[in-house]
Amino acid sequence: MTISTPKTNKVTRYRVTLDFTVDTTNCVGPKEWNWHELLELENGEKVNELHVENLGDYKTKKKRK
């Protein structure tokens, strides 16, 4: 996501909590993701804190054909 804003010498700190389900059978889990690249961080922008808690596995319903 790119938002056009005037260039300044300050950054704003945000804390974002995500609650989502990921099928890790075909990819690595969120702890292994490159968050700087995913969030498109540049210059003085950074991830100040990242906490990923594994909440366990959930069964999914089979899709009907």
- Look at residue 2 and tell me whether its pLDDT is greater than 70: no
Average pLDDT over residues 6-10: 65
Q: How confident is the model at residue 56 (pLDDT cuts 50, 70, 90)?
A: confident
pTM higher than 0.75: no
What tokens appear for 51 in the block?
Answer: 């906490």
What tokens appear for 36 in the block?
Answer: 């700087």
pLDDT in tens, 10-48: 777 777 777 777 777 888 877 788 877 888 888 888 888
Write down the H helix ranges in the chain: 35-38
